[in-house]
Structures are given as C-alpha cells and as structure tokens.
A = this chain, B = another copy of it.
C-alpha cells in the first residue's frame, strides 16, 4: 500500500507541467490566434531574458539524465537549446519526452534567451542559447534518416584530411535522398544564390528595356538539326522538346520586340554522363536587335555579368560564406570591364604561355570571333575573314557558360549556310521564312544557370546546383 502510494506520488511529482510538452494534433488549420514566432537568425545576446517561440527542426539532441542539449535549426540558422529538470516547469517526464523526439522532427520551442558561459562554436547563433520552457512536436520524422544533417553538412576539408574520422555522404546518396540533403545550410545557400542570379539577370535586362517572353517547349519539328532531341507522343502524332528557345526568341525579334529574354527549362537528349552535363537545365536566354555592330550586344552582356557578380557579392555575402564553410574555395575574381580576347589571340597566348591567361587575374573572360565552321549554321560570318564568325563564348573559371553570336537574318544567306552544314531545309522552313518578313540585324546568347552557380562557387558537380537533377541515368526523385 505504502509503496503504491509512494509510486503515485513520485509519478505525479515527475509529471508536473505536462501541458508544457507533447505532440500537437495534425494541423488542419483548426484555429488562428495570430501567434508570432521568432526567427533563430534574429536571436542574439542582446535579447537575454526575453521569452521567444521558434518553429524549427531538431538538428541534434544529446540527453544525459536530467539535462539535455539540443541544436535547433531553421533554414541556415542554428541555436543551442538547454532543457534542465527543475521543480516547476521541466519535469523528468518532459526531458524523457524531448529525448525521444527523432532528429529532423519539426517542433515549436518556447524558451528564455540566455547568454552562454562561453561562445558556442557549433551553432550559427554563438552568443545566445535558449532555456527551454515548452516543446511541442508539430510533425515527427518516421523511420531512420538516410544520413544525419551533421554528416551531410560537414566541411570538405574535414573529410579530406588524411586522418579523418568522417566518411563522406556521397553525391549519389545525397541525390537519392534529396529532400533531406537539401536541408543543409550549404544547400540553402546554393539555391538562394541560384534564385539571386535569376533575379539579377532580370533586374538588369528589364532596366535595359528588355521584355520577358515565354516560348513553347513542345515543337512540331526538331528545329535544330534533329540530334539530341527528346521525342514526345502528342495525341495521335509526335512532337519534340525544345533544345533551346533559339528560333523562337529570334522570331520575337522579327516581330519587333527588339530586346527579349527568357528563363526556362532546356532539354538535351545527350547521353553524356559528366560532372557538367544534365538532360534538363535552366537556360537564361536573351536576344537583341542592334543598330550597327554585334558588339553592342556583347557590351550589354559584359555589363550584365558584372552586374550579376557585383550583386552576388553585395546581396548574398552571407549565403556565399555559408556555402564556403562546407565547400571552401577562393573568391570569384572578375574585372570591372571584362577581358575580351579574340579566338586567334587566345590560341596564340595558349601556345606561347600555356595557361598563362591567369596573369589577367580574372576568373571571367570572353572569347570573340570563333572559326565559322565550329558554330551552328545560323551564325553570321565575319565580314573580313570568311573562316571566322561574329560569335563568342564566355568562360568562368575556364569553363564555358555562355555561347552566342550575331545571327544570319537574311533568308538567302541562311539557306546557303544551312545547306553547307547539311541541314535539311524542309525541317527549318518556318525558321527561314520568318526572315522573309523583314528582320533587323540581331545577336544574343544562352547561359546555363546551373553552370554559372557551380563555377561561381567552384563546386565540383553541376548536380549540386540543380534541385532535382536529371541525367541519362537519373529521373528520380
């Protein structure tokens, strides 16, 4: 009898404050109280003493006896939470409950901001921690995680050390479990930067009187020669996926839009399994009518890239730092006015000095005037040397990220060039006909978004810069 009484008393004593923790019912929008949450990124020592409520993931937890240490994560911010048994609010039952919440579950935590005894190095908030008062599970993870976020977030330098104790979470494993992988702070940084590149690209072009267009991705004919094109069943017939908006953006020029750009998926049925090829990627395309010379367009492109690089440096400083914490590298160097070399010069330079192009101290340059025969049939020949053309490529850290040219806007010359390239005229008739209605001289280019991000951050694989990459062997998730 006495023993039983004792046990009940003890259990009751252990379970005070049971309203302070637990699992919330499934949110079906039952009520709206207008509650405000604090962002982890906004918590610091100056708020010591304040009670805050955060929604976050359980990044890690370590509980021993009456005390638990948690790391809570929200996007690219982390903070330490301390849960210690006391006599009124935090019962042993509370600590036990919290210890059993699986990593990566989403919780609502109410706590008092306090200054830690010493700087906390393992979290992004280093001068404050949370004394936990309430903890509710919003949504719990089920089953075993494919890897811990701690492992997935570890700095490359740590893993590459000779005596490292850590094994690498491979790219393959990451991509197979992309939803969990994408939660790392580095990945949040990468995709914020990707979003930023698009934003800067548009901001600059809109300020230069460009308009945004949307051209069809389903085509009736495989317009660019037929190789590397995906075929679609289209009702009772067939159709093809656009390999670029090339022909359509030029048609917009023929319709007098003068300056157009598009951000859209591009599809390539290329069986290339390399670090820099995907079967679907995002193209940043533009096309522009000019007055006299295609260098008017090259000048705009030059300004555009400098604007993007400046913008990344000034607006995405913290994201760049976040990515570099996991993938350390040198800063991306560029010049206020981009180095522009002619293909001939560059070849000479390479012959004479090896890769001493580095002496220019830039990770970004343009090559102009490519040999005519290596470019597509719609490339305008150089007026002074028939072996060369009015075409250009841009390079970041030595790899191509943009390809462009003045286009042939004359139907007669276009047919002639197509024949020389062995292109079947019947497949490009609509394209050629566009120029019979009068076309201004024009030039443009296409940029691979993921390549720009990969090379800006000096990452080793383009798949790291695509949310859900597609290649000949990957269609999932």
Are B235 and A269 neighbours in the complex by a CB distance under 8 Å? yes
| Nearest-CB residue, chain B, relative to A216 | B468
Contact of A218 among B140, B239, B267 (CB under 8 A): B267
A347 at the B interface (CB under 8 A): no
Q: Is the CB of B441 within 8 A of A29?
A: yes
Comparing A42-50, A116-124, A207-215, A301-309, the segment that makes contact with chain B is A207-215
CB-contact partner of A265 in B219, B232, B265, B293, under 8 A: B265
Ordered by A's residue number, 19 sampled pairs between the chains whose C-beta atoms are within 8 Å are A28-B381, A28-B390, A29-B380, A29-B390, A31-B292, A31-B293, A32-B293, A57-B256, A139-B438, A142-B411, A179-B255, A195-B211, A199-B212, A217-B280, A219-B475, A220-B475, A232-B241, A234-B475, A235-B269
A60 to chain B, nearest CB (A): 14
Q: Choose among B217, B256, B477 the residue that contacts A188 (Cβ–Cβ < 8 A).
A: B256
Q: Look across to chain B and name the residue whose beta carbon is closest to the beta carbon of A76.
A: B256
Say yes or no: B31 contacts A409, CB within 8 Å: no
Q: How far apart are the CA atoms of A332 and B331 in the complex, in Å? A: 50
Per the 8 Å Cβ criterion, residues 181-204 of A in contact with B are 182-183, 187-188, 191-192, 194-195, 198-199, 202
Q: Is A5 an interface residue (CB 8 A)?
A: no
In the assembled complex, the CB of A292 is this many whole angstroms from the nearest CB of chain B, namely 5
**Distance, CA A21 to CA B231, complexed state (A):** 50
A288 and B438 alpha carbons, distance in the complex (Å): 47
A9 contacts B by Cβ under 8 Å: no
A420 in the interface (beta carbon within 8 A): no
Note all chain B residues with C-beta closer than 8 A to A180: 255, 437
Residues of B near A437 (CB, < 8 A) are: 104, 141, 145, 179-180
Min CB distance A434 to B, Å, is 5
Q: How distant is the Cα of A64 from the Cα of B178 in the complex, in angstroms?
A: 72
> Which of B57, B141, B438 contacts A141 (CB under 8 A)?
B438
A430 within 8 A of B: yes
Interface pair B409/A214, CB less than 8 Å apart:
no
| Nearest opposing residue in chain B for A251, CB measure | B179
**CB of A467 within 8 A of chain B?**
yes
A85 contacts the other chain (Cβ, under 8 Å)? no
The answer to whether A26 and B142 have CB atoms under 8 Å apart is no
Q: Which residues of B contact A271 (CB under 8 A)?
A: 235
Within 8 A of B (CB), among A351-399: 380-383, 390
Q: A239-B475, A252-B467, A477-B251 are in contact. Are A440 and B138 (CB under 8 A)?
A: yes
Cross-chain contact B141 with A220 (CB below 8 angstroms): no
Residues of A contacting B: mostly: loop
Q: Chain A: residues with CB nearer than 8 A to chain B?
A: 26-35, 37, 55, 57, 74-75, 104-106, 138-143, 145, 178-180, 182-183, 187-188, 191-192, 194-195, 198-199, 202, 206, 211-221, 230-235, 239, 241, 248, 251-252, 254-258, 263-265, 267, 269, 271, 279-280, 282, 291-296, 380-383, 390, 406, 409-411, 413, 430, 434, 436-441, 449, 466-470, 472, 475-477
A232 touches B230 (CB 8 A): yes
A33 touches B475 (CB 8 A): no
The answer for the CA separation of A476 and B219 in the assembled complex, in Å, is 7
In the complex where A255-B179, A382-B28, A436-B141 touch, is A33 in contact with B292 (Cβ < 8 A)?
yes
Report B-chain residues with C-beta under 8 Å of the C-beta of A267.
217-218
Q: Which residues of B contact A31 (CB under 8 A)?
A: 292-293
Contacts of A206 in B (CB 8 A): 199
Query: Which residues on B sit within 8 Å (CB–CB) of A142?
Result: 411, 436
When A57-B438, A139-B438 are in contact, do A279 and B218 touch as well, CB less than 8 Å? yes
Cβ-closest 8 pairs across A and B: A220-B475, A182-B255, A32-B293, A27-B441, A28-B383, A195-B212, A195-B211, A29-B293
Q: Given contacts A436-B143, A468-B216, is CB(A26)–CB(B410) below 8 Å? A: yes
Report the bound CA distance from A230 to B106 in whole Å: 37
Which residue in chain B gives the minimum CB-CB distance to A192?
Answer: B211
In the complex, which residues of chain B have a beta carbon less than 8 angstroms from the beta carbon of A469? 216
Nearest Cβ distance between residue A225 and chain B, in whole angstroms? 18
Please report the C-alpha to C-alpha distance between residue A235 and residue B267 in the assembled complex, in whole angstroms.
Answer: 13
Contact check, B199 vs A55: say whether CB atoms are below 8 A apart.
Answer: no
Q: Is the CB of A106 within 8 A of B438?
A: yes
- A470 and B216 contact, Cβ closer than 8 Å, known pairs A105-B438, A255-B179: yes
